[in-house]
Structure 1
Amino acid sequence: MSRQEFAYEILEEEAAYQGFFSLFKFRLRHTLFDGGWSPVLTRELFHRGNCVAVVPYDPITDQVVLIEQFRVGTVKNQDAKWILEIVAGAIEPGETAEEVAHRETWEEAGCTIQKLLRVTEFYTSPGGTSEKITLFCARVDATRADGIHGLDAEDEDIRVHVFSFEDAFAKVESGEINSGIPILGLQWLALNRERLRREWTD
């Protein structure tokens, strides 16, 4: 079956919950690789819209700016409840991904972006959520990164950390950084760091 022959039908859609996030319930079916159609399936979709994530990197000092905050997604496990991440935030109506990158890097880390590079786009967990991330790497001045940040209106309490690249990547390898988005972002930086240091320090 070619991709042109793929098809699906939504037979019923119900808004099961509307709050800070949304939950939709679908009855649907889709074509099968061997031909024909699947039975009618019931699937729930966690919807939060598209988001942006940013790896704030200082090529002069070879440092990465990370943020730490409480995450409710950890409460059902034995992991630490305050976790290290990269900057991230939702794209609001009328905003571009680039505008969100600048806004969130300032709001969450207190850093002004000097250069911005779009890395890739990806779904975080397409088996159940619509969230799609646009990942950037941003040149920042890490010597100015410090303190507690976040918006009071969103009850954010975000602490900024500055690590050498080696220390930040060691936290990925040890499992201390255990969230998918910063892992992906720091792995990309590991592959492209030398190029960025050449291109962003000219």
Structure 2
Amino acid sequence: MPRIAAIEVVEDYTERARCDEGFLRLKRYRARNRRADGTTSTVYPIDVIDRPTLDAVAVVLWARTPRGIEILTRRGLRPAAYFRRGKPAALPEPEYLLVEEIVAGVLEPGERGVEALRRRGAEEAREEAGIEIAPERLELLGGPFFPLPGIVSEKIHLLAGEVPRTDVEGLHEAPHEGDGSPLEEGALLAWRELHAAIAACEAGEIEDGKTEIALRRLAARLGA
């Protein structure tokens, strides 16, 4: 498949879009704090972003190799990062197209419980990395967390699973089919040594928060 060069906006329909449609739902409230003594604060606005399923999974796929523990990362299209271009940023930064992170995906409606998390994690590993792993081989990697609790209701559940190391070195194409979305096009996979990947997070080379949390938890779990 040809390399993705850009994301082209065909139409910007922001002004006429409703807050309760689309992949994400924006809810706007006017609220106040009610205190234990019965008094209340002034009224203030709250914006909350959620979606029909509030939870997601992120999966660290790792392998034991002669070089130590290696983990698989995936570089995929991330429009929110891409459309930072031209906007004022606190520090100089590159123009983003592909963002490096671990395999991840949102739960489907009705998926609840630990076994459902494992099944979803295994499905995302197959779709996004072309790696087959039995759901029961995926272990919870600590408790879930809010990535941005001030405005986003989503929680992320971390999973980890040991898999055979593929022979491919360097960046290589992810499976073309993915979940059928154009956002799956042009994704690249790469194996990294675990400590080198954590160092890449600290250096700002890997800028995804859930990935850094997952890698540090894995290192602690394995005593690496």
TM class by shorter-chain length? 0.7 to 0.9
How far did 1:33 drift?
Answer: 7.8
Structure with more relative contact order (C-alpha pairs < 8 Å, separation 6 or more): 2
User: Which residue, out of 82, 90, 93, partners 2:106?
Assistant: 90
1:97-136, aligned counterparts within 5 Å?
97-113=117-133, 115-119=137-141, 120-136=143-159
| Inter-partner Cα distance in structure 2 for 1:187 and 1:128 | 25
| Inter-partner Cα distance in structure 2 for 1:108 and 1:144 | 18
State whether structure 2 residue 47 is matched by structure 1 residue 44. Answer: yes
Residues 26 and 166 from structure 1, CA distance in 2 versus in 1: closer, same or farther, beyond 3 angstroms? Answer: same
| Inter-partner Cα distance in structure 2 for 1:189 and 1:35 | 46
| Inter-partner Cα distance in structure 1 for 2:20 and 2:56 | 20
How far did 1:98 drift?
Answer: 1.4
State whether structure 2 residue 174 is matched by structure 1 residue 151. Answer: no
How far did 1:31 drift?
Answer: 3.1
User: Which residue, out of 17, 26, 30, partners 2:29?
Assistant: 26
How far did 1:42 drift?
Answer: 1.6
Q: Which residue of 2 aligns with 1:59?
A: 64
The count of residues paired between Structure 1 and Structure 2 equals 181
How far did 1:192 drift?
Answer: 2.0
| Inter-partner Cα distance in structure 2 for 1:190 and 1:35 | 48
| Inter-partner Cα distance in structure 2 for 1:127 and 1:152 | 30
Unaligned stretches of 5+ in structure 1? 1-14, 196-202
TM-score, structure 1 length as denominator? 0.79
Percent of pairs identical after alignment? 29
Matched-pair contact (CA < 8 Å) for 2:64–2:165? no
How far did 1:144 drift?
Answer: 6.0
Per-residue displacement from partner, 1:28-69 (whole Å, max 9, x unpaired)?
A: 223348873222222111113211111111135511010001
The one-letter code matched in structure 2 to 1:169 is: I
Unaligned stretches of 5+ in structure 2? 1-17, 86-92
The one-letter code matched in structure 1 to 2:139 is: L
Matched-pair contact (CA < 8 Å) for 2:73–2:189? yes
Matched-pair contact (CA < 8 Å) for 1:111–1:144? no
The one-letter code matched in structure 1 to 2:160 is: C
Residues 35 and 153 from structure 1, CA distance in 2 versus in 1: closer, same or farther, beyond 3 angstroms? Answer: same
How far did 1:166 drift?
Answer: 2.8
